[in-house]
Amino acid sequence: MALPPGWIADLEARWPGVPVIEPAAHADGSDGADLLLAAACLARDARALAYLDALLVTEVRRAVSPLDTTNVLVDEVTQLVRERLLLPPPRLADYSGQGSLASWIRAVAVRLALNAKRPGAREEPVSTLPDHPIADADPELALLRARYRDAFRTAFTDAVGTLTPRERTLMRLTALDGLTCAQVGQMYGKDASTVSRWLAASRAVLLEKTRQTLSHSLSLSPSALDSLMRLADSELDLSISRLLESRAD
């Protein structure tokens, strides 16, 4: 597959001397120079790895210092990010070019820093969803909840799988790690209102795709499906937190 126009020139301008190695996948609109740098790092090119390490040191410090001013945590997370990105299986392979590599590294660093500050926190398998993804309400709705819990779990898991890496990262940082839209916006170079719009759009996609799946798999009346989705909406943040808890994009 031919690389989009301008990618090679951008690579030479931003990361001079890095060989052109085509990434496993790419799309128009991706950050081409950073995606090519990542591909060269995965191929173990020494110059590319040196650039990555310099970027990593800078961006981890930017991301972690506001969370903890001790150099101990910054140093610890820097090493954790190195290991996470480059040791098998290298998570750097998950970088899709949607946003800069710097902002992606900051997101990984924040996640690892928050985990490091929660000793003993247990990570659950990614397939684990809450046994109670929808809140108990009146007896009729509680019956709906109990009867269709497994169907909801499957539909919601499928819906989350359609989100982009950035959308999953944003939801994890806010729903699971407790960052504000303003804090997340600093990582992406955006204001809080932009991040809020991104999150609202992702939430709407999750609910709509979950509803579509349930409407095809269950024989529910429109009113019953509406009731089920209202309960799903009320517990969406909990479901997102439980599902994404063990994943880092």
Please say whether the beta carbons of 33 and 15 come within 8 A.
yes
Q: Map tokens 């992406």 to a residue.
A: 188
pLDDT tens for each residue of 30-58: 778 889 999 999 999 999 999 999 989 88
**Long-range Cβ contacts of 183-192 (<8 Å, 24+ apart):** 183/66, 187/63, 187/103, 187/106, 187/107, 187/110, 188/99, 188/103, 189/103
Q: Tokens at residue 10, please?
A: 């951008």
pLDDT: is 24 or 104 the higher one? 104
pLDDT > 90 fraction of the chain, expressed in percent and rounded = 11
* Radius of gyration for the alpha carbons in the chain, expressed in angstroms and rounded: 20
Which of the listed ranges 131-135, 183-187, 196-200, 241-245 does the model predict with the highest average pLDDT? 196-200
Q: Quick one: average pLDDT of 114-131?
A: 47
Please say whether the beta carbons of 27 and 49 come within 8 A.
no
pLDDT value at residue 43: 92
d(CA 197, CA 203): 10
Least confident of 46-50, 59-63, 124-128, 173-177: 124-128
Please say whether the beta carbons of 170 and 200 come within 8 A.
no
Average pLDDT of the chain to the nearest whole number:
75
Q: Tokens at residue 161, please?
A: 């799988």
pLDDT higher than threshold 60 for residue 230: yes
- Cα separations in angstroms, 69 against 65, 210, 212, 218, 234: 5, 41, 46, 52, 36
d(CA 146, CA 65): 45
Please say whether the beta carbons of 218 and 138 come within 8 A.
no
Q: How many residues can be counted in the chain?
A: 249
pLDDT: is 22 or 242 the higher one? 22
d(CA 196, CA 107): 17
pLDDT higher than threshold 70 for residue 200: yes
Q: Quick one: average pLDDT of 158-177?
A: 77
pLDDT tens for each residue of 70-96: 667 888 888 889 989 988 889 999 888
